[in-house]
Structure 1
Amino acid sequence: MNFALPEDNLLRLQAQLNMSGTFNHTVSRMPYSRDQVMFRIKIERGQPTTAVRIEMGDQVHTLDVQTVHPEKHLQVADFIDAIANGRVDGGELAPPRVTRQPLLPEPDALLNDTQLGRLKHMVRHGGFTSLETGHEHPINVAVHRTRPADGVTVIASIGTARPRTKCFTVRGDQRECLKRLLISIEHLHIIATPQRAAAA
């Protein structure tokens, strides 16, 4: 009997790979045993890859997966199974994972071309905009250009009664500023998405 990531944890992992953070999980000896091994997974979501660090006992392993890959959670789960069963260092492949849940399609892009164009303009010149991302309330974004050092100060929020807010200053070229702004907007979108509960 091999250790494997249970299916409910696989669904949590699928949601967690869409955000950055540190999460605790267990692998179980399948199919009928109650033996479990706890491990910690640290996820740093980026573009084009997401970095995954797995700490299991005294072992630490890392893996990079393509952020847009529709089955990245299965790749990470197979890697976890291989670690739990002592196959990582030996190079032995884990058996293919079979799930009963249909794979969900990759979600559409959060922002459309018009919204991206507006954010690029704001990074160059400053300004304010409201971004409709499918929630009850828009994500409000204010950008102020910093002088004399190149950079931006950003205030972004979603909600009215108890708004979630991010405020930060980024130094660097426009590309770096836009990248940090988009990450912040994505985090606010994730916080306001009911799916986030699936990762808890």
Structure 2
Amino acid sequence: MPSRQSSAPRYSVGQEVIFQAALECFYRHGYDGTSVRDIAKASGTTPAAMYHYYESKQDLLVDIIGRFMGQSIEVTSAAIGTENGPSAQLFAAARSHVLWNASDVVSSFVVNSEIRSLEPVNRRRVIAQRDKLQRMFDAVVEHGVAEAVFATPWPREASRAVVTMCTAVANWYKSSGELSPEEIADRYGAMALSLVGAREMNPM
């Protein structure tokens, strides 16, 4: 599974406790169904303690989504950078994206369900991060089409489908399931290659 340590912001113990409590509350009750008092209670602190680190509940949501998206971009970039050729790069990118989302289904769910709860300026910033991640996949697929190793006539749509299906693993993945995250990631890597019409289905 991808490491969550290298690019995680360095927070004080108190801030991290509040961050994790808010994340769990948003996951269980939704952003709109969670109050500042709920977060304070879940973190064993007070509303004043939360306001010491965050000006509002909205700022907490921005931090949660921004952290996860920023790390998603780093993980994907690293996966692509370790491989040569579009087929190997797409397989690695899809595989890493599955592993990343499966490694923290709570964060993945909150990020993908609560973007709608962001205020316009914050939403634009997060969508820019999401678009940056998508463009990384787009570039690999377009390169593969240009090199005639991918046969899809719709590279943008195929690339978007790859990211969507890999992200959605967090909606159903359970650690008690029949397949390990690595096995799921391998299958999704193969499905990503199939989606783009890869000439070579075993890039590794």
Output the TM-score relative to the length of structure 1.
0.26
More strand by share: 1
Determine which structure has greater relative contact order: mean sequence separation of CA pairs < 8 Å that are 6+ residues apart, divided by chain length. 2
Output the TM-score relative to the length of structure 2.
0.25
Structure with the greater alpha carbon radius of gyration: 1
More helix by share: 2
